[in-house]
Amino acid sequence: RVSRSFAGVIRQLPKGLCLDVLIFYLVLRALDTVEDDMEAFRGGREEEKLDLLRRFHVVALGDDSWSMEGVGRGDEAELLRRFGSVARVFAGLPEASREVIADVTRRMGEGMAEFVGKDLGQGTTTVAEYNRYCHFVAGLVGEGLSRLFSATGCEDPSVGEARELSNSMGLFLQKTNIIRDYLEDLVDGRAFWPQEVWKGYAPSGHLYELSEEAARGRAVQCLNHLVTDAFELIPDCLEYMAQLHQPEVFRFCAIPQVMAIATLSELYANPRVFTGVVKIRKGMAAAIVLQSNNLTEVQAWFHRFARDVARRVPAGDPSAERTRAACRRAVELTASGARTAAATLGAGDFVAAVALAAAAHVLAHGGDGLPTVAVAGLSSVVVVCLAALMARFKAVVSAPGASSK
């Protein structure tokens, strides 16, 4: 209930790993709820919040009777009220998994406490601080997951030891979210774009200047600067995914990464970031889910989006050379996989196309006696599947070495 999409992904993990990752997620979601609540700890309770963040791994995770009222909203508040149930299941996990979850919870809580007292109305201060924040809230998640993969025997020990690569996986996702959420975070009064970057594009010294129409050109240049910074993490992400051998674990890690680079491609040079919410289309998301099953497919996606950004680099953009270099590196690393993917659409695409044709045939004949609601649902499926297949086809034909026929 605190994350329907993530719950579905977790259920696909191997039996010996699924519960461990589920508890890991719920523990960190509870911790994040405490950190996010800017109202419950007002009026002299600030130190109580800091203490709870620093000791959550002991006072909450180590006590199956622990409960908290009045913090968070909706399902997140319910999670804290019933956290004792999470602690009880945690206590029954293998010792190696408990050690990983407790350690990451402790370090994340300490990191959150470090940033709670900071004034983030104008974003983080330096790029180093920006990276540090992303490490605490996302890089540690990547590290914890990697260690759980290894601790449960689902992946080689080397995966759990790849701390820097795991951190980059988390930073790639978190930076994508931060870049996308510029306007939402600005309105909330808690932003994360680093001043060291954006003040170079906003002479007034105020982050909100980038949302003004008069500053749109400079705002887009600032946006491109930050997207490029995220793109420079791509080599680490690809190296990390190349180490994974368990298919379910690979998909669990790969799909969010491909979604992230697709989002970054959509964000690049896009002025709508400063006026609303930018998202990838549902058909594209569906195609990514269907075609991120192995390293070859993932490389094909990364290759496509890196080339897409490279083609759109404005000549006068201050970050142009750096952007081209990051794209060029990504294209080089993924060229082999892109060529392999271009050789065939694959059996999965063929089956999807046949199913799509059958559904379209039924609709063309008035639903063949199906109830109205079923016809409407089938129509939606056809639209989404068609968009997914078109996105997949576009990815294949844009790869190097693809036939022009």
In whole angstroms, give the CA distance from residue 276 to residue 171: 23
Residue 25 is a catalytic residue: no
Q: How many CA atoms lie within 13 A of 23 on its CB side?
A: 25
Please give the helix or strand (H or E) that residue 9 lies within, else none: helix 4-10
SS3 117: coil
Q: Please provide the DSSP assignment of 339-384 as one string.
A: HHHHT---HHHHHHHHHHHHHHHHHHTTTTT--HHHHHHHHHHHHH
For 123-175, the three-class secondary structure string (H helix, E strand, C coil) is: CCCCHHHHHHHHHHHHHHHHHHHHHHHHHCCCCCHHHHHCHHHHHHHHHHHHH
Please tell me what DSSP assigns to residue 273: G
Distance CA 15, CA 253 (A): 17
**Residue 115 among the catalytic residues:** no
Task: From the candidates 29, 106, 147, 180, give the one annotated as an active-site residue.
Answer: 180
- Catalytic residue flag (residue 208): no
Active site residue: 24, 252, 302, 305, which one? 252
d(CA 405, CA 394): 13
Interior CA angle at 266 toward 119 and 292, to 5°? 105
Q: How many whole angstroms separate alpha carbon 283 and alpha carbon 387? A: 4
Would you call 201 a catalytic residue per the annotation?
A: no
- In angstroms, the CA 134 to CA 142 distance is 11
Crossing angle (nearest 10°) for helices 95-116 and 140-151:
180
Q: d(Cα 180, Cα 274) in Å, to the nearest integer? A: 9
Q: Identity (one letter) of the amino acid at 367?
A: G
Ramachandran quadrant class, 281 (left: phi over 0; alpha: psi -120 to 50; beta: rest)? beta
Q: Residues 112, 49: contact at Cβ < 8 Å?
A: no
How far CA 272 is from CA of 29, 263, 276, in Å, comes to 30, 13, 6
Taking Cα atoms as reference points, which of 189, 188, 185, 254 lies closest to residue 226? 185
Q: Which of 54, 190, 312, 339 is catalytic?
A: 190
Enzyme catalytic residues: 133, 180, 190, 252
